[in-house]
Amino acid sequence: MVYPILSRYMDPSHWVELIQEYEITIWNSVPAFMQILTGYFTGKNEKLPLRIVLLSGDWIPVGMPGDIQKCASGDARVISLGGATEASIWSIYHECVDNEIREVSIPYGKPLSNQGFSIYDAKGRPCPVYVTGELCIWGTGLAEGYYNDHKLTAAKFVTGRENGRMYKTGDIGCYLPNGEIEFKGRNDNQIKLRGHRIELGEIQSTLEQHKSVSQAMVVLNEVKTDIYAFVKTVQGNVKNSDLKQYLEAYLPKYMIPADIISVEEFPLTANGKIDRDKIKKLIIKQENAEGKELREENPDELQNKLIELWNSVVPQSAAGVFDNFYDLGADSLILAQMATKVREQISKDIAFDALLREMIYNPTIQKLSEFIRNNTETAVEEKKMEDTNSELVFVREYGGDLEKGLSIIFHGALGSFNRFDYLADSLIASKGEKVIGIGIKDTNKYCSIPSTNLIWMLSDIYSQIICSYQAKAVSLIGYCFGGVIALETANRLNENSITVKSLSILDSLLLPPSFKVEDELLMEMMFLDNIPVSYADIEMPNPALYEQIIVQESMKKGVINKGFLTSISGTTQREQLGDFFRELATMQKEERFGLYAVQCKKNTNVEMPMELIKSLYQVCVATFEAMHYEICPYLGTINYFFAPEGEVGFKKMVLETWEGLALGAFNVIETPGNHYTCVEQKENAEYLAGLLCDLKE
């Protein structure tokens, strides 16, 4: 075994000297070292006598096997190895071959002899093909545990139902159809940014598929407000705008990095892995430099007007087109003042809460100007109706071919579309049909409609929108509250001689008229499920007990009276829960909403003004009251997609109500995740899209 001398351990010319001197034919290193070696050989005529290349310890760029063949004298075998120290270092392998397609990443592979891999979801159930879960290793190579750390040993070394004792790696991946495993990163490499769950590795692998990019690294900046990508190019520089345009063709808007920075070499740690800490320091340097450079760009007329308005709200802030509002001293009050001025002086047609929401999630003059243009001119993502109700709703056109068909996704409880991008993209990729989403544009108008008329009015408007596309047959997909609207809209479309190919209801509630909630504190707890605030965030003791109590009470199908939560008592655990609600009830409503706003900011690093939270809460209340609608049965098949994670008792009660509305067949189909992750998480949304595409028309 040959090692480079310490003083030249990062020098590729020294490595070549050692290979030639000792006639080395087997190479074993992390991918970053091999990338240095192949880069050193670019443009050289000499070849290396390598016959086996073993790579492990980090992501392998998809183009690396080809680069290795270019500098090897023969056909070198390139083998990816993976595993964990807790399971004999290497437990899985994949041999790269010339004709394999590596669109996203090099497969993790199959287990080595006497070792095994299994993939389990959060509930400990085996995952089917393409469904992401945690990788667990079992077999003879397993360690006994962690020395003198019984707690960690018990948490990481568990007993499985099928394969006995196994190690939970913390890595995530999925099975491929050929039985191999695809590695998708770490559990802790997934971030949540502006309400979206994002796998940074997906952005990285997409960048590395670009012909001019040899290696990429994607990280979140220190304040957790923006994604940055660093790339090493094959030759010369690639324009930032070109790479962003390339990414936009494959990824949703919220996954596009704020900036893409070219580097000559990536900084490495002592063991050859990319040094993420140094990468993040480069971001800070870049952000500081941008403050000077971006002011040189020339704002257009609208942007100048917005800068003028901003400076009137925040004097002497010297705002630039790309300056972050929060860096200029913005808070919820300032953003609300800015939204008011924009409506007064630029566009009265845009709803206040829509403007406020845009500035919270995209806090720059540039993004605000784009939003205003897209909402005042003919935009790709909005199709205005001709009647007076057009201001209530909007249509988002995701893409696809109308000639192949039309699929419609109906919004959830808050009327927004921030969770359907993965589902829409997967449907387009699978079926090719045009996919649109219908959502609420003016929440004030939405809340002003009497609850007894809301579903009737929305269904009437939505059916008119769908008819305007002149599609002969459509597929309707209703999530949560959207399921109720989808069913009623289906009835309207049948009356207009439009064929509904499939009616799909995604984990939707349909409340019996007798079931009502008069406890405002309970309504607030239900609302928290729709914003980035968990029960743990507000320090609720024993959330599982709370959910159990609510489900039991809900299944009575009666009225949950005011003061229900504050009256919880009995066992020690119930008393603790009741004390929590009794203390919460002593706070003024304004104070409680202030608490929710603080938690939103902690969880997202984005200010969510109390005014916006209040607005969303009113939408939630209006939606809940409208769910008691006496809906007509559907003359056809209803496909109900059931997300099994979480409390299912109440869901099963709801199933009985839905089944009674299907005059045709009623199909219950299980889809991975809970009420939210079934559509928000990419792998779950892709799996759900596959189920939707498999429905019989």
Specify the range with the lowest mean pLDDT, choosing from 141-145, 249-253, 399-403: 249-253
Q: Taking the mean position of all CA atoms in its chain, how far away is CA 87?
A: 31
pLDDT at position 54 is: 96
Structure tokens at 470: 């002149």
pLDDT at position 167 is: 94
Specify the range with the lowest mean pLDDT, choosing from 326-340, 619-633, 656-670: 326-340
Number of H helices, E strands in the chain: 23, 24
Give me the amino acid identity at 402. L
| CATH of 12-181 given 3.40.50.720, 3.40.50.300, 3.40.50.12780, 3.30.465.10 | 3.40.50.12780
User: What are 184-195's pLDDT values in tens digits?
Assistant: 877 666 665 654
Average pLDDT over residues 502-530: 84
- Count of CB atoms within 10 A of residue 172's CB? 23
pLDDT grade for 437, boundaries at 50, 70 and 90:
very high
pLDDT at position 293 is: 47
pLDDT grade for 292, boundaries at 50, 70 and 90:
very low
- Count of CB atoms within 10 A of residue 244's CB? 15
Specify the range with the lowest mean pLDDT, choosing from 162-176, 326-340, 362-376: 326-340
| φ and ψ of 607, to 5 deg | -65, 125
| φ and ψ of 622, to 5 deg | -60, -40
CATH code for the structural domain at 301-378: 1.10.1200.10
Which is nearest to 364 in space by CA: 456, 462, 290, 438?
Answer: 290
Q: Is the pLDDT of residue 384 over 50?
A: no
CA distances from 346 to 349, 373, 583 (A): 9, 11, 45
What is the 8-class DSSP label of residue 109? B
Are 565 and 522 in contact by the 8 Å Cβ rule? The answer is yes
pLDDT at position 388 is: 38
CA atoms within 13 A on the CB side of 338: 33
Q: Which stretch, 77-81, 252-256, 328-332, 621-625, has highest mean pLDDT?
A: 77-81
Structure tokens at 593: 């909403």
Q: Taking the mean position of all CA atoms in its chain, how far away is CA 487?
A: 27
Query: Domain boundaries in the chain?
Result: 12-181, 190-285, 301-378, 393-511+630-694, 516-627
Q: Is the pLDDT of residue 37 over 70?
A: yes
Residue 479: helix, strand or coil by DSSP?
Answer: strand
Bridge partners (DSSP) listed for residue 182 = 174
Average pLDDT over residues 462-474: 89
Dihedral sign from CA coordinates of 580, 582, 584, 586:
negative
pLDDT grade for 224, boundaries at 50, 70 and 90:
low
pLDDT at position 295 is: 44
pLDDT grade for 386, boundaries at 50, 70 and 90:
very low
pLDDT at position 378 is: 34
Q: What is the mean pLDDT of the chain?
A: 83
The residue behind tokens 């299907």 is: 662
CA atoms within 13 A on the CB side of 584: 25
Which is nearest to 623 in space by CA: 352, 410, 421, 344?
Answer: 410
DSSP run (H or E) holding 102:
none
Q: Which residue has the higher pLDDT, 443 or 178?
A: 178
Average pLDDT over residues 293-317: 77
Average pLDDT over residues 369-373: 87
Average pLDDT over residues 347-356: 71
Q: What angle do CA 474, 480, 485 make, to 5 degrees?
A: 50
Give me Rg for the CA atoms of the chain.
28
| φ and ψ of 580, to 5 deg | -60, -50
Structure tokens at 149: 């750390």
Find all residues with CB under 8 Å of 129, minimum gap 6, and list them: 174, 175, 176, 177
Equal fold, 301-378 vs 393-511+630-694: no
Which is nearest to 654 in space by CA: 673, 635, 677, 638?
Answer: 638
pLDDT grade for 485, boundaries at 50, 70 and 90:
very high
Give me the amino acid identity at 469. Y
Find all residues with CB under 8 Å of 22, minimum gap 6, and list them: 2
Are 524 and 555 in contact by the 8 Å Cβ rule? The answer is no
CATH 3.40.50.720 fits 393-511+630-694, yes or no: no
pLDDT grade for 407, boundaries at 50, 70 and 90:
very high
Q: Which residue has the higher pLDDT, 614 or 167?
A: 167
Bridge partners (DSSP) listed for residue 53 = 27, 78
Cβ-count burial of 96 within 10 angstroms (0-12 exposed, 13-18 middle, 19+ buried)? buried
- Count of CB atoms within 10 A of residue 361's CB? 18
Residue 509: helix, strand or coil by DSSP?
Answer: coil
Are 458 and 478 in contact by the 8 Å Cβ rule? The answer is no
Give me the amino acid identity at 536. A
Average pLDDT over residues 125-136: 91
pLDDT at position 502 is: 94
What is the 8-class DSSP label of residue 125? P
pLDDT at position 104 is: 66
pLDDT grade for 317, boundaries at 50, 70 and 90:
low
CA distance linking residue 143 with residue 406, whole number of Å:
54
Which is nearest to 250 in space by CA: 411, 107, 103?
Answer: 103
Q: Which stretch, 244-253, 273-282, 639-648, has highest mean pLDDT?
A: 244-253
Cβ-count burial of 82 within 10 angstroms (0-12 exposed, 13-18 middle, 19+ buried)? buried
| φ and ψ of 505, to 5 deg | -110, 120
pLDDT at position 270 is: 66
Are 372 and 350 in contact by the 8 Å Cβ rule? The answer is yes
Specify the pTM.
0.46
- Count of CB atoms within 10 A of residue 222's CB? 11
Find all residues with CB under 8 Å of 26, minimum gap 6, and list them: 50, 51, 52, 53, 54
Residue 387: helix, strand or coil by DSSP?
Answer: coil
pLDDT grade for 639, boundaries at 50, 70 and 90:
very high
What is the 8-class DSSP label of residue 8? G
pLDDT at position 636 is: 86
Are 118 and 124 in contact by the 8 Å Cβ rule? The answer is no
CATH code for the structural domain at 190-285: 3.30.300.30
CA distance linking residue 79 with residue 55, whole number of Å:
6
